[in-house]
């Protein structure tokens, strides 16, 4: 039986349709390939990389700030920050609640941070302890990771706050030395480019790790023990005198190094807030009229001309001196005074008469050489230059008032520095906030004879008959000057005062200069000799003994005036 074979032929139109469909399929594949490999190649590669690769910042360790003896004033400790990739994070409700409890956050807050699936990085909590971070990671939530960072701590707290400053959440300096030496302290961050899986685990490095370069340590000239001492004594004085503010500067008289710089009110740099910016470093930034602490500069300038000496007589009667329509006053009439007594009694009339006998350009030149009207160049943010008007604009009354510290503005650091001429045989020393490696080179302003003569006059200020017996220090000779000045305001001087004292010891060979300023004392006393001199005495005595400086006077050298003797006051 023969087998009959049949051939099935498709209709012509069906064959053509099938061919067209096959060709369209190939065209679609080719088009898709072109789209993926050509048109959208960069975008898709970027999206793929975003889901698999990460560029991790490796933070540099910020340098320490220490005092001159290596005691830490600012240190960085390692902490952990918890972050997440919202697109990769898969967490149950129970896990979110546990995570929120550990991080002390609201579960709703965490949910809001993870809601944006277009983001691949979001912080959940920054700067937590490594122990707490380990508890978080033990939850094993996909997409949640931890990152090593550093947190700044300030062991001395508010005692050094305005000087050291503080950092923000990113460890960038925001104030003080932290801000000024940001580049030196911060170093350079490193990086690591890696591939991660969907659970956030690192699979491989894409390139060599760029290691961070740690910051450098900064050694200040401050001695933390002296800083604590000055802070304690200033705090007492501000509280007892119900003052608005205060500041103390302690200088090494020979090197110009700042051994202490204290300001009140203060703040806690470990927990700074919006009010922290108001607690500035008054010793460098704030300017004030120094009052009678300027008189030694005027007297030194006069002696340098050769026309005056310590015994030259000045008639200050009747305690007033009319200049044009203005009148200069003493706190009480003194009659005929020697130049030395003009300093001891703090006579405005005597200082004004001496100043008006000097050439204005010469007098301005001396004050300018002493650093008034220019910054002290201690490399601190917002350092003030003070105000010393050009002599060409002076009227007689202005020349007279500048001689006793009115009509001129200075910083406390400038005043402390100016007194280095009396501690160093007429040589003005530069000042520094950094520990010195080499002796500083100064500028000769007065002759050694002039400087020693004025220093002898300054010793009489702290003796009975002077304006500051309370500045005396047991076992040491002291030389210094009080200042009491009205505060200028809108429309003229206010009934508010700045009380100050600047002095040095041992007077036979000064090792330290201490300047004290109390702003607006309001508890009955406002003279520099009553308010600021006791702070000087307490800080100077303790510091000299702490440094082991040999005594230049017997232990019974402190002689206070009799209780029934009227207080020697100075006119403000």
The answer to whether residues 77 and 206 belong to one domain is yes
The answer to whether residues 189 and 241 belong to one domain is no
**Could you tell me what percent of the chain has a pLDDT over 90?**
64
List residues with catalytic annotation: 292
The answer to whether residues 304 and 158 belong to one domain is no
**Three-state secondary structure call for residue 17:** helix
Domain of residue 397, residue span: 224-547
pLDDT at 22: 82
Given 219, 241, 259, the domain boundary residue is: 219
User: Bigger pLDDT: 166 or 27?
Assistant: 166
The answer to whether residues 214 and 266 belong to one domain is no
CA 365 to chain centre: 30
- Residue 75, classified by CB atoms within 10 Å of its CB into exposed (0-12), middle (13-18) or buried (19+), is middle
**Could you tell me what percent of the chain has a pLDDT over 70?**
90
User: Bigger pLDDT: 91 or 152?
Assistant: 152
Question: d(Cα 211, Cα 10) in Å, to the nearest integer?
Answer: 72
Question: Does residue 419 form part of some domain?
Answer: yes
pLDDT at 50: 53
Average of per-residue pLDDT values in the chain: 89
Give per-residue pLDDT as tens, 428-462. 999 999 999 887 889 999 999 999 999 999 999 99
Question: d(Cα 547, Cα 565) in Å, to the nearest integer?
Answer: 36
Question: Does residue 540 form part of some domain?
Answer: yes
Domain CATH for 337: 3.40.710.10
Question: Does residue 406 form part of some domain?
Answer: yes
The answer to whether residues 523 and 397 belong to one domain is yes
Give per-residue pLDDT as tens, 479-529. 999 999 999 888 788 889 999 999 999 999 999 999 999 999 999 999 999
C-alpha pair distances (Å), 523 with each of 123, 327, 572? 52, 29, 17
What is the number of domains present in the chain? 2
Find all residues with CB under 8 Å of 415, minimum gap 6, and list them. 290, 293, 500, 502, 515
The answer to whether residues 192 and 253 belong to one domain is no
Question: Does residue 466 form part of some domain?
Answer: yes
The answer to whether residues 68 and 81 belong to one domain is yes
Could you tell me the pTM of the whole model? 0.85
Identify the weakest region by mean pLDDT among 134-143, 150-159, 445-454.
Answer: 134-143
Judged against a pLDDT cut of 90, whether residue 169 lies above it is answered with no
Give per-residue pLDDT as tens, 82-129. 988 887 788 888 888 888 889 998 888 888 888 877 777 888 888 888
CB 301 within 8 A of CB 366: yes
**Three-state secondary structure call for residue 41:** helix
The answer to whether residues 328 and 196 belong to one domain is no
Give per-residue pLDDT as tens, 34-51. 766 766 666 555 555 555
């Amino acid at each position: 039986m023969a087998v009959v074979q049949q051939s099935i032929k498709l209709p012509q139109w069906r064959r053509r349709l099938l061919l067209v469909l096959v060709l369209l399929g190939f065209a679609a594949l080719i088009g898709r390939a072109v789209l993926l490999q050509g048109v959208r190649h960069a975008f898709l590669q970027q999206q793929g990389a975003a889901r698999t690769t990460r560029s991790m910042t490796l933070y540099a360790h910020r340098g320490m700030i220490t005092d001159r003896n290596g005691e830490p004033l600012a240190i960085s400790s390692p902490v952990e920050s918890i972050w997440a990739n919202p697109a990769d994070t898969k967490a149950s409700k129970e896990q979110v609640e546990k995570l929120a409890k550990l991080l002390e956050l609201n579960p709703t807050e965490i949910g809001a941070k993870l809601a944006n699936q277009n983001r691949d990085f979001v912080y959940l909590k920054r700067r937590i302890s490594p122990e707490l971070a380990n508890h978080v990671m033990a939850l094993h939530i996909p997409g949640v990771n931890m990152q090593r960072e550093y947190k700044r701590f300030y062991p001395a707290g508010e005692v050094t706050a305005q000087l050291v400053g503080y950092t923000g959440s990113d460890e960038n300096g925001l104030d003080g030395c932290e801000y000024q030496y940001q580049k030196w302290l911060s170093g350079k961050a490193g990086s690591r480019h890696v591939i991660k899986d969907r659970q956030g685990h690192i699979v491989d490095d894409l390139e060599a790790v760029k290691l961070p370069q740690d910051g450098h340590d900064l050694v200040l000239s401050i001695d933390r023990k002296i800083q604590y001492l000055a802070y304690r004594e200033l705090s007492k004085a501000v509280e007892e005198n119900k003052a608005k503010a205060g500041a103390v500067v302690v200088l090494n008289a020979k090197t110009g190094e700042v051994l202490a710089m204290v300001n009140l009110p203060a703040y806690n740099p470990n927990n700074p807030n919006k009010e922290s910016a108001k607690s500035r470093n008054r010793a460098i930034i704030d300017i004030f009229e120094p009052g009678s602490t300027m008189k030694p500069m005027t007297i030194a300038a006069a002696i340098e001309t050769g026309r005056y000496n310590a015994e030259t007589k000045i008639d200050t009667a009747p305690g007033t001196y009319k200049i044009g329509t203005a009148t200069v006053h003493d706190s009480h009439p003194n009659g005929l005074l020697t130049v030395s007594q003009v300093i001891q009694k703090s006579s405005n009339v005597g200082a004004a008469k001496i100043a008006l006998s000097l050439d204005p350009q010469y007098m301005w030149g001396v004050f300018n050489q002493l650093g008034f009207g220019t910054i002290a160049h201690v490399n601190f943010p917002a350092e003030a230059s003070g105000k010393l008007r050009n002599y060409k604009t002076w009227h007689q009354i202005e020349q007279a008032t500048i001689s006793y510290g009115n009509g001129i503005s200075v910083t406390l650091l400038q005043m402390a520095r100016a007194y280095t001429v009396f501690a160093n045989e007429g040589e003005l020393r530069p000042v520094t906030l950094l520990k010195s490696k080499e002796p500083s080179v100064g500028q000769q302003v007065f002759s050694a004879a002039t400087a020693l003569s004025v220093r002898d006059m300054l010793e009489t200020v702290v003796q009975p008959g002077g304006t500051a017996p309370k500045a005396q220090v047991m076992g040491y000779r002291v030389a210094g000057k009080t200042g009491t000045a009205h505060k200028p305001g809108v429309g003229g001087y206010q009934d508010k005062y700045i009380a100050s004292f600047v002095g040095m010891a041992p007077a036979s060979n000064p090792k330290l200069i201490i300047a004290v300023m109390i702003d607006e004392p309001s508890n009955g006393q406002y003279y520099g000799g009553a308010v600021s001199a006791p702070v000087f005495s307490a800080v100077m005595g303790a510091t000299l003994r702490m440094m082991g400086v040999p005594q230049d006077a017997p232990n019974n050298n402190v002689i206070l005036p009799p209780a029934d003797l009227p207080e020697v006051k100075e006119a403000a």
